[in-house]
Amino acid sequence: MSHPSERGFVHPTPSEITPRAAYDGRRRWLQQVAAGALGAGLAGWAARDALAQAKGAPLVGAKSAVAGAVTMEKPTSRNDATTYNNYYEFGTDKSDPARTAHTLKPRPWTVAVEGEVKKPKVFDLDELLKLAPMEERIYRLRCVEGWSMVIPWVGWSMAELIRRVEPTGNAKFVEFVTLADRAQMPGLRSSVLDWPYVEGLRLDEAMHPLTLLAFGMYGEVLPNQNGAPVRLVVPWKYGFKSGKSIVKIRFVDKQPNTAWMKAASSEYGFYSNVNPKVDHPRWSQATERRIGEEGGLFAKKRPTLMFNGYEPQVGQLYAGMDLAKQF
Ligand code: MTE
């Protein structure tokens, strides 16, 4: 095994690191907000459900113990992360979702889990909120278009759900189907994608502890434009693999045909792992621009890391694969 520095690790510069005291202070503050609002010590679950109905309600997670789940890089501002979005069901411009996603109704909500599982089940959102302890994960998110952010998510590992539904021996892949409702989503009038937005993972990728089912960000329930009420976050893959507003999770034996593969299979492969060595036909993947960084469009670009920097955790999943062919 090579030394991390030989594997292209770039350590954050001091200015990118949130001072420990400020970080801890913010966490304590969020916990106090949650506890105070509930009057029940640290957020009893029943009361959390009631709170979770409100926009901007606290949703606090304990710091995750999963390896690689917390970066010390400075999080992108909440304002940038909630106004610069890709959510084509609400328009194709980055500023569209923040303006138009207020028509999404994140409650009531169910997620149907079906296919090759011994215990298929339709989960109500309230059940999902209680299914496993909430954790805060601070992940880098890199878009194939060449920009990146650092976002503090709140949720739990997808593996928690997978274990409970007991996949059969035929389950090789997991397909994620997201909401497609013309009444709530103005972008569905456009045929830019074949709706509904569908994404997929191999079963072992979905089981990886870093694969997160997220319900919140920045210590609050997810804003609509970021995929309320529940979305996937797969930090070592390009952003589009992380489907928003999920309504169905299907376990299948064949590789799912995803919305982006249907739109342009030569540009978007099934795996879509962040890989600085394999360029997209239209955008280099070697470097990236961190949203919100001083200098804006002219800010110095930073090198993109293999698997978005999560190589020590996920590299083994792809041992023996030719990632230029299976991109
Ligand atoms: N999910 C749905 N349903 N529709 C979308 O258009 N866009 C994807 C992904 N999930 C998308 C989606 C893309 S391209 C990216 S980069 C991320 O969401 C952006 O997530 P963010 O807006 O929270 O940063």
Mean pLDDT within 183-194:
97
Q: Which residues have a Cβ under 8 Å from the Cβ of 94 and sit 6 or more positions away?
A: 83, 84, 85, 86
What local confidence, expressed as pLDDT, does residue 177 receive?
98
Q: What angle do CA 154, 157, 161 make, to 5 degrees?
A: 120
Closest CA to 179 of 78, 111, 102: 111
What local confidence, expressed as pLDDT, does residue 248 receive?
98
76 Cβ below 6 A of ligand 1: no
- DSSP structural state of residue 184: T
Domains of the chain (ranges plus CATH)?
Answer: 4-318 (3.90.420.10)
- As a whole number of angstroms, the distance between CA 255 and CA 96 comes to 32
CA 71 to chain centre: 15
Q: Which residues of 65-83 are buried (b: 16+ CB within 10 A; e: fewer)?
A: eeebbbbebbbbeeebbbe
Q: Give the 3-state secondary structure of residue 182.
A: coil
- As a whole number of angstroms, the distance between CA 202 and CA 268 comes to 16
88 Cβ below 6 A of ligand 1: yes
pLDDT band, very low/low/confident/very high, at 27 (cuts 50, 70, 90): low
pLDDT at 88 over 90: yes
User: How many residues make up the chain in this entry?
Assistant: 327
Closest CA to 243 of 257, 224, 256, 230: 230
Which residue is closest in CA terms to ligand 1's atom 12? 243
Tokens describing residue 250: 């299907």
Residue 156 CA, ligand 1 centroid: distance in Å = 19
pLDDT at 185 over 50: yes
Q: What angle do CA 293, 142, 316 make, to 5 degrees?
A: 135
211 Cβ below 6 A of ligand 1: no
CA 304 to chain centre: 18
Sign of CA dihedral 151, 155, 156, 159: negative
**Pairing state between β 287-290 and 302-303:** antiparallel
The pTM score is: 0.87
**What average pLDDT does the structure give for the chain?**
88
> Amino acid letter at 326?
Q
238 Cβ below 6 A of ligand 1: no
Mean pLDDT within 135-164:
98
| Burial class of residue 286, CB neighbours in 10 A (0-12, 13-18, 19+) | middle
Other beta carbons less than 10 A from residue 51's beta carbon:
17
Lowest-pLDDT choice from 52-56, 93-97, 139-143, 309-313: 52-56
Q: Percent of the chain scored above 90 by pLDDT?
A: 80
- As a whole number of angstroms, the distance between CA 69 and CA 48 comes to 24
Closest CA to 114 of 252, 253, 254, 246: 252
178 Cβ below 6 A of ligand 1: yes
H or E, element range at 52: helix 45-52
Residue 69 CA, ligand 1 centroid: distance in Å = 20
160: left (phi over 0), alpha (psi -120 to 50) or beta: alpha
Mean pLDDT within 222-229:
98
Other beta carbons less than 10 A from residue 25's beta carbon:
11
Q: Are 133 and 156 in contact (CB under 8 A)?
A: yes
Q: Are 93 and 148 in contact (CB under 8 A)?
A: no
- As a whole number of angstroms, the distance between CA 21 and CA 24 comes to 5
